[in-house]
Chains A and B, each alone.
Chain A
Amino acid sequence: MADDNKALSVGVDLGTSRSAISASSGARELVLSYVGWPLDMVARRVVKKDCLVGEEALENRVMLDLHRPLERGMIKEGAERDSKAVRELLSHLLTQAGVDEAREAGTPVRAVVGVPAEAMRVNKQQLRSAMEGLVDSLMIVSEPFAVAYGLDALLHALIIDIGAGTTDLCVMNGRYPRDEDQKTLTVAGDSIDDQLEQLIGDRYPEALVSRHMVTSWKESGSFVGQLSGKIIVQAPVEGKPTKFDITEEMRTACTSLVPPVVEAMNDLISRVEPEYQPKVRNNVILTGGSSLIGGLGAAIQEALQDVGGGKVRVVKDPAFVGSDGGLAIATDAPDSDWETLSG
């Protein structure tokens, strides 16, 4: 355990859609992973800031060069702006958690940042560069590992982290996850939005529907399996607000997530030593923003029946489970480790 009480430890979950921070001071913040810069001088005068982050960026998006830096779980290929956006997003989160004040007071800040497994795999160096100078010591870990650590699910567990850009699956075998222990799918919240938008457009071509409307409908009404009521939404048709039933479209779009996730899950389980497979099957943990899709956990658990049965647990507070896990890592890592990673 770190015994340096003067250090401020923070855990950050850098997500495609939302990012969260948990600090040892007790601070917890959640922001939308949007970063935007004013498009021109006029926009700059209106928004009165050089850079906007989170909800504020989304609200002012028409005046901004808006970025979601971890699109599909990775920093966009060759886009320097997205690296800058990562830095702005991190800086904003750290400020929200009181890191600036702590550093001004001379308190060292130790951060563990959890990123989608795919970003961890391909953008590790860019991420580290993007965060240079923001904290005193930095450790970057894959998000499923941070989740597993926070939940103490380090042995014989399968983490399924369904975010916006990617779905990360990771088997915890009591060792730091290696490439063969993990899988990343690009089927996730965003792909559900894609499909839902397409299906609604096909059925109601007259409705004027924006991407943000589709996302908000999904966030409030997503489900797989059976639904007792109907999902009725409102969208303008030639300027007139009109109601539409999108129950079937929602079911179809959300259900599209199940087969690839189940296939990847079964593949990872099949790689586990045979005697431990039942333990892993009975310790499947579903997390990430899209784990909140109604009935998803049950659908995955039902699919496990085909391979001998198992249990799926849906994390109650997916928004902070990754950042809390990062905080646990930051707090547990000994001072000597932090010294190794400083500078």
Chain B
Amino acid sequence: MANVRTVRRRLLREAVEENYATMFGAPAPSVQRRLRFQRFRRGGAWGAALALAFTGTWVLAETGVFKREQIITERVALIVPPPPQRPVPRIGAAASLDSVVTTPMDRSVFPYAVRRIVIDAGHGGHHVGTSSPGGMQEKEITLDVANRLAALLRAGGFEPLLTRSDDKTLTLEDRGDLANELEGDIFVSIHVNWFSESDVRAVETFYLGPTEDRELQRLAARENEDPGIPLGEYRQALERVFADVRRQESRQLARTVQQELHKSLQTVNPAVEDRGVKSAPFGVLTRTRMPAILTEVGCLSNDQEVALLANDEYRQFLAEALLEGIRSYALELNPNLTLGS
């Protein structure tokens, strides 16, 4: 009975701490005190873990311990360099982990070619998405723009793949799984926005991720709470390194696409606002294993935007703007990329 009470108390404390962290962006004071002690106590062990996370990547990939990442390395023709001569973090587990995973990786290490583009037309079937007051539906616009973009990409030497080419219902999970099965190099989900202020006309692009890397903070805090560092946790640390590379590339893809999208649209739709690139935990982006973005190419809450989105030429223009963004990203990543081969 006493044991049950203890468990209940501990669970309540953890629930409160998680809520506190959401409210204030940091662990509750009681947790911070505990973490400081644990970091001090386990700093040495974590230093070793992180050293392995870097120096051991090559070894694990070679020995096949890390299957999923091995597949990724094959897909992107990853050239794994010799073990990097970085200073090994010495103490302070959470801080070290953060500094490791948020340090941008040298993109030249990943000279991969972006050829296979998974295009996801948002919503579909029973899920109409947002609608204009006149009944124009998001799912119809996204599908049309996606089909146009696919045709343009194909003509441009890419290999476009659509999650849906007609009006069918797909779950977010289906879309992510499909993109993974198709082994896309990048994933672009097309959506149309709706703003409560009807005068807003804007485009914006998202990539997956918490704004302040809270996930990594939580990961570090979580790891520090457990006694000992089993192999599974080494694995998690390594996974985070790879996850961060994906996020980094997603962010870059989002930036390039948003930039091209807004630049192109301004020529025909000068009122459109550039709401920039943001990270957000969109469900459709959580499942994909390749750089992935969600782009809101317009909005159905503004009458002028609705009129433009109803226009075939404007939709073609949107598709062309997205093509430019994707092409720029592909060339930026690999200037030697020969398209059409």
Which A residues form the contact surface with B (CB < 8 A)? 39, 72, 74, 77-81, 84, 118, 121-125, 128, 138-141, 145, 149, 152, 154-155, 174-176, 178, 185-187, 191, 194, 197, 211, 329, 332-334, 337, 340-341
Contacts and interface: CB of A to CB of B under 8 A. Distances in A.
B217 interface: no
Interface string B96-121: 00000000000000000000000000
Given A175-B14, A333-B12, A78 B19 contact: no
Interface residues of B, number: 37
B78 to A, nearest CB: 26
13 contacts: A78-B193, A79-B130, A79-B194, A80-B195, A84-B196, A122-B281, A139-B19, A174-B7, A175-B11, A175-B14, A176-B15, A333-B12, A333-B16
A140 B16 CA distance: 9
A72 B129 CA distance: 13
Contacts of B171: 72, 186-187, 191
Interface string B14-48: 11101110110000100000000000000000000
B221 to A, nearest CB: 11
A86 to B, nearest CB: 14
A81 B16 contact: no
Contacts of A340: 16, 20, 28
Contacts of B4: 152, 154
Contacts of A84: 196
Contacts of B195: 80
Given A72-B172, A121-B281, A191-B171, A128 B23 contact: yes
Contacts of B14: 175-176
Nearest to B172: A186
Nearest to B20: A340
B22 A124 contact: yes
Given A149-B8, A154-B7, A194-B126, A77 B15 contact: no
Nearest to A343: B23
Contacts of A154: 4, 7-8, 11
Contact of B173 (A77, A124, A178, A186): A186
Contacts, number: 90
A211 B128 CA distance: 14
A79 B196 CA distance: 8
Contacts of B20: 340-341
Contact of B12 (A140, A152, A186, A337): A337
Nearest to A334: B12
B18 A176 contact: yes
A80 B22 CA distance: 20
B157 interface: no
Nearest to A39: B133
Contacts of B125: 194
A337 B23 contact: no
Interface in B163-184: 169, 171-173
B294 interface: yes
A341 B23 contact: yes
A318 B190 CA distance: 37
B222 interface: yes
A140 B19 contact: yes
Given A77-B282, A149-B8, A175-B11, A341 B191 contact: no
A139 B280 CA distance: 22
A140 B130 contact: no
Nearest to A128: B22
Contacts of B22: 124-125, 128, 140
Contacts of A79: 130, 194
B196 A341 contact: no
A72 B62 CA distance: 40
Q: Which 8 A-B pairs have the closest CB atoms?
A: A176-B14, A122-B281, A186-B171, A337-B16, A80-B196, A174-B7, A124-B22, A186-B173
A145 B130 CA distance: 32
Contacts of B281: 121-123
